[in-house]
Amino acid sequence: MRASTTCQFLVTLLAVSSWGCKDRHEARSAEPAASQPTEAITESAETEAGDVLPFPAPPMGGTVAVTMQESVHKWRQEPRHLPEDAPNIVIVMLDDAGFGQPSTFGGEIQTPTLSRLADEGIAYNAFHTTAMCSPTRAALLTGRNHHRVGAGQIAELANDWDGYTGITPKSAATMAEVLHYYGYATAAFGKWHNTPVDVLGNGPYDRFPTGQGFDHFYGFIAGETSQWEPTLWENTTPISAPYVKNYEDYHLTEDMADQAIAWMRRHRAINPNRPFLVYWTPGAVHGPHHVAKAWAKKYEGKFKDGWDAYQARVFERQKAMGWIPADATLAPRPEGMPAWNDVPENERAFQERLMEVYAGFLEHTDVQVGKLVDELEAQGIRDNTLFIYIFSDNGASAEGMQGSIAELNAQNGIPSTVSEHIAVARTLGGMSAIGGPRMDNMYHSAWAWAGDAPFRYTKLIASDFGGTRTPMVISWPKRIQPDKIPRSQFHHVNDVAPTLYEILGIRHPRIVDGHEQIPIDGTSFAYTFASADAPGRKQTQYFDIMGSRGIYRDGWFASTFGPRVPWVATVPDISHWDPMKDKWELFDMRADFTLTHDLADEHPQKLEELKALFMREAEANRALPIGGGLFSPLNPSQMKRSTNTEWTLYDGMTRIPESQAPNVRNGNLRVDIDAEVPRNANGVLFAMGGYAGGVTLYAYEGELRYEYSSLLLRRTKIKVGKLPAGNVKIALEMRTPAERAAPAEVVFWINGKEVATGTVERTIPGTFTASETFDVGTDTNSPVADDYFDKGPFEFNGQLKRLYFKNL
């Protein structure tokens, strides 16, 4: 081991715990000082020039002469770059969970694993995310601010401004890349959401997890997927979840736990002396909220008094247990969200059921995390495993709007009524079917607000802690003493990577794979491990998601809400929005935990200082233009999509991303199909999407049929006509006006004869799903059509010779 690495590791260990006595004074004096402000305050963990990775190969162990008899063979020795006792590292981060939901910290949803780890370790009540999925993950993995690594928006809604490309630059190596070169085995399980959509169909694969430092990946690449029929990848290979007769016999989160355990066992069997990093980030509890009925039943009747009462109860419990200050103020319900008492009686059972399913989903997820902890204990390695449990990548999500059975209506800007959702739910099995595979349900936005207690707002609001703040628990039995006192130092997901580097004695690399590295923005929080009341070291952090923005500086926080209201489905009109005229608020966080006492009028100079600081940070971090993340949602035609105008596809071509496939969703195109059709043909000719949102052309008992699911609220079914046996030519034309969610006209031909026409009442403007794909000759994952819902993947039993699509 290099002497400098060994010394740094020992210094860090002494600094973060009570180990050793003799050199403690020297160790503490060696702690890195808090970053000093600069013109644009980008804090960095760098204190000296780092390594060049990968490390040079060691020299040959023996000697070479002319003959083997004269030569000496000796295996070369790989130098160790890690401390002898380097810990295993497990990072867990859930999705779309709220600050006020876990029972561990006052909520009413049972989280036994979070509680177990909190009892064995330490907890943080001022830890922050970016307020959104992809940006948080990019910041966590790289240790940089999200815009600096191109993640100002989720990958599906990327644009070509530098801070919003969805492409992590090679100059910002992930923690997995760095730890891999230092000697860690690395594996990622679950949701990734940091790969550009245009490489999912055919590479290049260097933007996949295995191209960014992970030896192994099992999970899904997109922002969400069905828990019952997920769109899975193993490394860079698309795979299918097992088809089961009873859908509850498979659940993605359970599968993820099993896969992680299997990987740890294999690794330990083969390389027991090599530490590992496991990054375990389930799609739960992001929508759709899918869980077995037994888990939802545990919460039956527990939410009858509604979201206002829930928020009030949790708030009092949070104060009583010391999780939040005793003098904290409860945030009011946002304007536009109804009081529970204003919800019509005939809609309350629906709203309660949505929350019961969500609660069961969250508890189920936490229990799967517990399986990982159990496995560490069973293998005898729990003591020296650093377990970081980040409760969520952002606040609870209000994207369910008024309560939904198909949550992508909101992302597509399609307004709807609760009565519509209830009526369709009845046709799909009623209230008991919510949480099953026919619905992509998500709870009312007010449940998210209450679940973010004690804060004002929700996910996507970067100007408020309801969007950005999440509980975090760290357990490392060998090195961290359990402590019930919450850590209240202000920290952020970009601080995790520098924390790991510090405890391992790793200097931030100067060059990785030939690419000079940009500085780390995060600040290590290792100093908090042994001290709950140590002065915070993070001085500055900006926040910005789609124009909702804020700036933290030395206990002050200034913010402005932005132009978009996440719990309103309609697309905002920003044609006259001038972000420089937005009204800002000012809060003294030291006396105002919930950001409810605006001091802008009392301290106007301080507010102007912080607004100016925000602009410097935005410019330095490539966050401009302000609101840049809104471009693609407001202009779906400009979303990253295939530039092809024609496609020639063949039988068996599957898992083509929706964005790279022919636009059979709301396009203007024609498809000509040459097929060998058997008598009484059955099977899919082509399909895009899934049951909640998708389109399919298929044969059913010898008849050609077409079905279009407009996110469940509309469903178009057309019986096209009888298919003759033999060589058959089938054609379809789709013509869609430019208006958002416009109806489309479809025309069908069999062997050159027009046989049917029809109207798709509502086309979907943005995307059917976040992860489902385009398939030829089969319908992978969630089946689109009612006719073959229980027969998936419903492969065509003839031969598809060619499908030729051309834009009109």
CB proximity list for 430: less than 8 A, separation 6 or greater = none
Give the span between the Cα atoms of 262 and 269, in whole angstroms.
11
639 pLDDT band, cuts 50/70/90, is confident
For 91, 226, 356, 615, the CA distances from 442, given in Å and listed in that order, are 26, 12, 11, 36
The pair of three-digit structure tokens given for residue 513, joined into one six-digit string: 């794979």
* pLDDT tens digits, one per residue of 271-315: 999 999 999 999 999 999 999 999 999 999 999 999 999 999 999
Lowest mean pLDDT among 27-41, 88-102, 405-419, 481-495: 27-41
23 pLDDT band, cuts 50/70/90, is very low
Question: What local confidence, expressed as pLDDT, does residue 472 receive?
Answer: 99
> What torsion do the CA atoms of 479, 485, 490, 495 make, to the nearest 10 degrees?
20
Give the span between the Cα atoms of 723 and 581, in whole angstroms.
63
The side-by-side arrangement of strands in the sheet containing 656-657 is: 656-657, 773-776, 683-689, 694-700, 703-710, 714-722
Q: What is the pTM of this model?
A: 0.93
Give the span between the Cα atoms of 514 and 591, in whole angstroms.
48
**Cis geometry, peptide bond prior to residue 793 (ω within 30 degrees of 0):** yes
Judged on CB neighbours under 10 Å (0-12, 13-18, 19+), 708 is buried
Q: Are 641 and 660 in contact (CB under 8 A)?
A: yes
* pLDDT tens digits, one per residue of 62-83: 999 999 999 999 999 989 999 9
CB proximity list for 524: less than 8 A, separation 6 or greater = 32, 45, 495, 498, 499, 501, 502, 537
Q: In DSSP terms, which residues pair with 728 in a beta bridge? A: 675
48 pLDDT band, cuts 50/70/90, is low
β-strands 469-475, 385-390 pairing = antiparallel
* CA 505 distance to own-chain centroid: 30
Question: What local confidence, expressed as pLDDT, does residue 67 receive?
Answer: 96
The pair of three-digit structure tokens given for residue 385, joined into one six-digit string: 């495993």
* pLDDT tens digits, one per residue of 665-693: 999 999 999 999 999 999 999 999 999 99
CB proximity list for 320: less than 8 A, separation 6 or greater = 106
When pLDDT is averaged across residues 580-608 and rounded to a whole number, the result is 98
